[in-house]
Amino acid sequence: MTQPHPLDGVIWNALSTRQAHLAEATGKARRFLPEVSVLAGLADPTAQAYADLAQLCAPGDRVSLWDTKPYEPQPGWETVAAAPLFQMILEVPLPKQDRSPLILTLGASDVPEMLELTRLTRPGPFSQRTHELGMYLGIRAEGQLVAMCGERLRVPVHAEMSAICTHPDHLGNGYAGLLMREVARQMIARGDVPFLHVRQDNTRAIGVYERMGFRVRASFDFAVLRRV
């Protein structure tokens, strides 16, 4: 019998394995601690699993889930947003390159600037403790954080790139590519295969990722839901 790929139910798998220490769980539902991420995972998209997830959420709480099929309305949940995603994976070797002196390692003291940059560029949800999900690298110009890339979901032998963003005033300098290649190199060095998720209508980003060597592995639908 073929074993399921760890990236098929990637949020559930992350919350069940390498990032279980950042999870809240009951029954068939798991979610990240709210101050870490809005992502949640279900063992299977059944009514019972959504009922279990509701037990983890207060009224008004938002969660984001991904599935291979579009979200079907469930009692107690309101749809805030939904869109199709591509899951892309890097399976080609990267050219050898020394780490650029422009690249800095980001930490807790950088969180206010990280939050400001993600509010401006909207690469995806970013919260007060999102940086605890993994490494985050950045580039500063004149003392200001102007570009960032880090990692989010981690499952066995795979790690997700996330929060790839550049300040609008600093586009065209190659910062995103520089950071992505360094994050990917560090992932590969420790034995992980890099992957990422991107909205299917974001053709500009998809082209950048393809030129770097990423290929589409699977399609998903994401839904942001509010507990009512």
Q: Where are the domains of the chain?
A: 10-85+223-227, 88-218
Tens digits of residue pLDDT in 123-157? 988 999 999 999 999 999 999 999 999 999 999 99
pTM: 0.93
Tens digits of residue pLDDT in 83-130? 999 999 998 888 888 889 999 999 999 999 999 999 999 998 899 999
CATH superfamily of 88-218: Gcn5-related N-acetyltransferase (GNAT) (3.40.630.30)
Distance of alpha carbon 101 from alpha carbon 117, whole angstroms: 21
Task: Tell whether the model's pLDDT for residue 48 goes beyond 80.
Answer: yes
Question: Residues, the chain, total?
Answer: 228
Would the CATH topology of 10-85+223-227 be identical to that of 88-218?
A: yes
For the chain, helix (H) and strand (E) counts, in that order, are 5, 11
Q: What is the pLDDT of residue 4?
A: 82
CATH of domain 10-85+223-227: 3.40.630.30
